[in-house]
Amino acid sequence: MTRQADTLPGVMTEGAAPTVEELRALLDPARMPRHVAVIMDGNGRWAANRGLPRVAGHKKGMDTARDLVRQCARLGLEALTLYAFSVENWRRPMDEVGALMSLLTLYLRKETASMMEDNVRFSTIGAVEELPKAARAWIDKTKAKTASNTGMVLNLALSYGGRREITDAAKRFARDVEAGRADASSLTEEGFAGYLDTSALPDPDLVIRTSGEMRVSNFLLWQIAYAELYFTESLWPEFDERAMLTAILDYQGRQRRFGKTGEQLGGKR
């Protein structure tokens, strides 16, 4: 669930909302999430609330994504995965799908320089081959340009579905078994994870969903088994630096037990 910024301990002074600088000062560098995954929801509602076409919400959401990438890179995260386009999103009206693909291309054209400046490496998961040719070309170009960067990985989920990812991983494993490269009887969870699209990344520690919806929508179903879930009423275009810092502070206030008791970890039950 969400926690409002003005309820965070040690921040309040006579009901005043904390500044971004005060929120930053509360962060514990030793307890930062390694990998944050975000379900960016609410662009259409943001636009509708203002009497604007849906594409205006997607454009504003692109600006929010740009700002978040830079913020997370400077916070030192290892990876940021953004659910940019789900396999189910192909069911939307074709003009909206076309606008989203154009915005993806525009984002990559405009933000590659920022990625280089912030040492961000760009990657994708999902069936990228299903995207239009222009989008695929810019994806390849951005991956090549940022391949040597050693900072945060920006991972866009495009034409992505968690169930399909697991199914495709199972097929890859089955082919390896058939070819004699793998032994079905010795498969482990860690071994199977190596067949997933995210095999090069740590599992997400924190999953954020905006817009008040409380579901994971077929996103990283295997990888988020032990992730902390954070839901906020903020629509994605409203999710600013203050909102992100609040989410991380909420994460840092939780006890991650992984099946153990609080007493075993030296904390509360």
In the CATH scheme, what is the code of domain 18-252?
3.40.1180.10
10 Å CB burial of residue 1 (0-12, 13-18, 19+) is exposed
Indicate whether 111 pLDDT > 60.
Answer: yes
> With left for phi above 0 and alpha for psi between -120 and 50, is residue 210 left, alpha or beta?
beta
Indicate whether 170 pLDDT > 80.
Answer: yes
Which are the contacts of 139, defined by CB distance < 8 A and separation ≥ 6? Answer: 108, 124, 128, 131, 158
Indicate whether 102 pLDDT > 90.
Answer: yes
Indicate whether 6 pLDDT > 50.
Answer: no
Q: What is the mean pLDDT of the chain?
A: 93
pLDDT at residue 51, as a whole number: 98
Give me the phi and psi of 240, to 5 degrees please.
Answer: -100, -170
- The ranges assigned to domains in the chain are 18-252
Nearest to 125 by CA among 173, 87, 151: 87
Indicate whether 264 pLDDT > 70.
Answer: no
pLDDT at residue 268, as a whole number: 57
89 is catalytic: yes
Average pLDDT rounded to a whole number, residues 188-206: 98
| 84: confidence class by pLDDT, cuts 50, 70, 90 | very high
205 is catalytic: no
Q: Give me the catalytic one of 67, 89, 119, 149.
A: 89
pLDDT at residue 256, as a whole number: 74
Q: What is the pTM assigned to this prediction? A: 0.91
Average pLDDT rounded to a whole number, residues 90-96: 97
